[in-house]
Structure 1
Amino acid sequence: MSTTVSPLAPKSYPDMPDIEGVQFATAAAGIKYKGRTDVLLATVPEGTAVAGVFTRSKCSSAPVDWCKDRVGGGKARALLVNSGNANAFTGKKGKAAVELSADIVSKALGCTDGEIFLASTGVIGEPLPAEKFADVVDTLKNGQGNANWLDAARAIMTTDTYPKVSTASAELDGATVLINGMAKGAGMIAPDMATMLSFIFTDAAIAPDVLQALLSGETGGSFNAVTVDSDTSTSDTVLLFATGTAAARGVSPVETLDDPRVEILRAALGDVMLDLAQQIVRDGEGARKFVEVRVEGAESDASAKKIALSIANSPLVKTAVAGEDANWGRVVMAVGKAGEPADRDRLAIWFGDVRVAVEGERDPDYSEEAASAVMKEQDIVIRVDLGLGAGQATVWTCDLTKEYVAINGDYRS
C-alpha cells in the first residue's frame, strides 16, 4: 500500500449507503504488513445468495479452489479476506490454511464452512499463518458494523495506492435497491475472468442461478476488459452477494432470467463492475496515463477484443504512451501480431480525434503537433478501424513507467 496516491485516482469517494444486513470489521493480524489492517470479515444475513467468477490460471490459489468448490451451493454467511499473502503455490499447507480459516469463522458465527468464502492477496509461495485469524476473529465478530466500506477496501489493499469502492441503485417494485462494491488491484492485472479481488453486495433478492448469470454476463465488458501488465493472477476472485433484505420494502424475489427486472439489475451491476475495473487500471503500478483502446471494423467482436488487448498489452505501445510519443507504428505492430484477420491497406488509426494513419500509410494531413498534444493528456483514446466488418470492442489499460519496474523489483524486499 503506497503512501503516494496515483495521479489517476478519483478526486473523491462516493457516499456508500448501508446495505441492510451487511457488516464489516477489520483488524491487523500482522500477516505481512505492520501498523495497518490486513484482515476483513464481512458477514451477511442467513439466506444470502452468492455467485462467483474466478481465475482460469492453472496455478490457482487455495482460496480460489475453496470458493469454486462451494459457490455452487449458492448460499453465504461470511467472507474472510487477508492481504499480504496470496496463499498460492503453498501445497498441502495452503489447503490446510483455508480449512482452518473457514473452521475458525464458521465456529464463531455458528454456520457451516460451506457458507464461508475466502480470498487472499499478496506474495505467492509463502505459507499463510491462518492460526493468526483465531486471535482476531473474535475481535472481528464483536466489532461487526464498526468498519465502513472504505475501511473494508483499505484492509484488502497490497500495492494499491487508494481504496476502490463504487455504488449504484435501481428501482424495483417501487422501491430502491442498492448495489455496492469494492475491489483491490494494481499489478498482475490481465484478468481471465475477473480481476484481483472484488466483492459486490446488493439487498435485492435474487436466485443463485440468476445471480451467477448476471455476474458472468457482466464480467466480459468490465473486469475482463482491463489490463495493467498482461499478467493474470493466481488469485483473481469476484464474489457477488444478494442479501434479499429489500424484501422488507416490498421488493419480490427475482427468480428467473426472463423477469423484466433482470435488465434493470444488469445495468446497475454493470455500472459498478465497470467503475471498479477502471479504478484498478487508474491505480496501475506506476501509472500516469489512462488509456482507452477502441477497435472497430473487425470481423467479429471476439476478434476485435483480441486485437484491442494486443494493443493494450504491448510494452512498446505502453512505453510510447508513457513517453507521450505518438508512435502509431507500434499500434500497427500490435494489430499485426494479434493473429486476427487484418488488412494493412484498410487500417486506420486515431490518437484522440487526430487520425494519424489511413489506408495502410500515414494520414496525408498528419500533424505531429496535434498528435503530440493528445499524448500529453492524462486520459488518452487510441482508436483502430480495421475496415473488415462490424466487430468492435473496448478495453482499458495504462502506461508502463519506470515506477512499475521499481515497485515490482522491490516487491518481496
Structure 2
Amino acid sequence: MAVGLGPLPEFFPVRGVRVGIASAGIKKPGRKDIVVFELAEGSQVAGIFTRNQFCAAPVTVTRRHLSEAAPRYLLINTGNANAGTGRKGVVDAEQCCSALAAMAGVSEAAVLPFSTGVIGESLPVVKITGALSAALEGLGEERWGEAAEGIMTTDTLPKGVSRQVVLGGETVTISGISKGAGMIRPNMATMLGFIATDAKVESTLLQTLVSELGEASFNRITIDGDTSTNDACILMATGQSDAPEIGPDSPFLADFRAALEDVFMTLAHAIVRDGEGATKFVTINVSGAETQQEALDVAYTVAHSPLVKTALFASDPNWGRILAAVGRAGVPDLDIDAIEIHLDDVCLVRHGGRAEDYSEARGKAVMSQQEITIYIDLKRGDVHERVWTCDFSHDYVTINADYRT
C-alpha cells in the first residue's frame, strides 16, 4: 500500500564499499536476513542513534566500537532486534562481531553491529555466524538493491536512493538504503539508514552532517509515535573519489550537502510512504511559531492524534480534530483568533472557527488525495517546522496485532 513509492532506482556503486547478503533463517527459512558492508581502509564513519533509554545491545556495542577503532565492516541482521536482552544481548552482539572480524582479519572493534526485528528474544548467534562466510564470499559493489531488501521487516517495499554530483570536475557518488514502516517516532525514528559516499570528508564535518541532516529528515518523520530501541543512521565516507576533500570551509561543501540532503530526505520520506497500512502521505507545516519547540509540539500533536489520523484514512475533512490537537499542544497563550489552518489551499479555520468560505465539498476533495499538506499558521513569530506522517488504517492494527504470529 506504499504511497507514491516506486521500485528501487539504479544504484551507482560507491568506490570503497562492497556489500554481501546471506540467509541465516533467523525468522523465516531462506529469507535473506544478513547484510554486510565492507569499507575500504581509511574510511570515515559517523552516526546518530535512538534516544530510547532501553537502547538495543547492538546500539551500545556500535557506539563503543566507533570510539575505539576505524570501522571496516557493518553487520546487519533482521528478524531479531537483540533489544531487552540485558547483558547477554551485548555478549551476543560482541560474539557476532568477533566472528566476522576473525574471518575478515580485522579487530573486533572494526565491526559495527545492527539488528532489527522482534524485541525481547535472544539473538541466534549460531545462525548468524554460520551465514557470515556466505556474505563475505558474495561481497560486491553492485548489491545495494539486495541489501535494501535484506534489511526489511514489515516494509512492503525496499527503500533506496543513489545520486551523483560533480565537485571540482570529479564525480562524487552518494548511495543509501533505509528500512522502517512501524515503531517510527523522532529521536531516531524501528528505522535503520545506511548512506555511503566516496567523497573525502573531514571526520568532524561528517558527524556534523549526519547529525544536522538526520535531525531535519529522519527526526521529522512519525508513523505511530513509538520510538524504537534500535534506530541508527550511519554515514560512511570512503574517500575514494578524486574530488577535493570537503571540510567546513570547502567551496564544494554547499553542493555536496545539497546532494546529501536529498538522499536523507528521500530515504526518510520513503519510510513514511511505506508506513504500516498507510494510504496517505501527509506533510504538517507549522509556521508563525515563536520557537522551534512550540512549532514541533504543534506539528507532532497533530501528527500523533489517532482521531486526525483515522479521519485522514476515511478522507473525512473533520477539521475540528485538527483544531483540537493544535489547542492541546501545550503552547502557552495562543491567540486562537489569529490562527489559520489550511488543507492544501483550502482554509479550514480562521478567526477562531470555521472559515467563512470553507465548504465540505472542497475539504473532502483535498482529503481524498493520496498526498496532503496541513498548514498551521500560529501568527506569533517567524519560526517554521515541517513533520511528515501518514494515516491510520485497518491494516495498521492487523499488521501489529499479527506481528509475532
Report the TM-score when normalising by structure 2: 0.97
Question: Do the aligned partners of 1:190 and 1:228 also contact (CA within 8 Å) in 2?
Answer: yes
Summarize deviations over 1:307-355 as a string: whole Å, max 9, x none: 1111111111101101111111111111112112422111111111100
Distance (whole Å) between structure 2 residues aligned to residue 194 and residue 407 of structure 1: 18
SS at match of 1:264: helix
The match for 2:234 is 239
Distance (whole Å) between structure 2 residues aligned to residue 74 and residue 293 of structure 1: 41
The match for 2:347 is 355
Structure 1 pair 93/73, CA: closer, same or farther in 2 (3 Å)?
A: closer
The match for 1:148 is 143
The match for 2:285 is 294
CA-based RMSD of the aligned residues comes to 1.4
SS at match of 1:392: strand
Question: Do the aligned partners of 1:156 and 1:184 also contact (CA within 8 Å) in 2?
Answer: yes
Question: Do the aligned partners of 2:181 and 2:190 also contact (CA within 8 Å) in 1?
Answer: no
> Is 1:407 aligned to residue 399 of structure 2?
yes
Alignment map for 1:2-401 (pairs within 5 Å): 6-73=1-68, 75-145=70-140, 148-194=143-189, 196-246=191-241, 249=242, 251-254=243-246, 256-341=247-332, 342-401=334-393
Distance (whole Å) between structure 1 residues aligned to residue 188 and residue 68 of structure 2: 20
Moved more, 333-342 or 184-193: 333-342
Summarize deviations over 1:22-48 as a string: whole Å, max 9, x none: 111111101112231011011011111
Question: Do the aligned partners of 1:351 and 1:381 also contact (CA within 8 Å) in 2?
Answer: yes
The match for 1:3 is none
Superposition deviation, residue 147 in structure 1: 5.9
Superposition deviation, residue 146 in structure 1: 7.6
Distance (whole Å) between structure 1 residues aligned to residue 235 and residue 189 of structure 2: 12
Q: Which runs of 4+ in 1 moved over 3 A?
A: none
Distance (whole Å) between structure 2 residues aligned to residue 328 and residue 169 of structure 1: 43
Superposition deviation, residue 71 in structure 1: 2.2
Distance (whole Å) between structure 1 residues aligned to residue 274 and residue 96 of structure 2: 30
SS at match of 2:165: strand
Distance (whole Å) between structure 2 residues aligned to residue 307 and residue 82 of structure 1: 36
Summarize deviations over 1:225-259 as a string: whole Å, max 9, x none: 1000000000000111101110xx3x2322x3222
Superposition deviation, residue 371 in structure 1: 0.6
Q: Which runs of 5+ in 1 are unaligned?
A: 1-5
Distance (whole Å) between structure 2 residues aligned to residue 194 and residue 232 of structure 1: 6
Summarize deviations over 1:59-111 as a string: whole Å, max 9, x none: 00000111111223572211110000000001122011111011011111111
Superposition deviation, residue 303 in structure 1: 1.7
Summarize deviations over 1:367-390 as a string: whole Å, max 9, x none: 110110110111011111111111
Distance (whole Å) between structure 1 residues aligned to residue 285 and residue 69 of structure 2: 36
Moved more, 306-315 or 368-377: 306-315
Summarize deviations over 1:283-321 as a string: whole Å, max 9, x none: 000001111110111112332122111111111110110
Summarize deviations over 1:177-196 as a string: whole Å, max 9, x none: 01110000000000203561
Question: Do the aligned partners of 1:303 and 1:391 also contact (CA within 8 Å) in 2?
Answer: no
Summarize deviations over 1:151-185 as a string: whole Å, max 9, x none: 00111100000000012222222111011100000
Distance (whole Å) between structure 2 residues aligned to residue 350 and residue 364 of structure 1: 13
Distance (whole Å) between structure 1 residues aligned to residue 74 and residue 27 of structure 2: 20
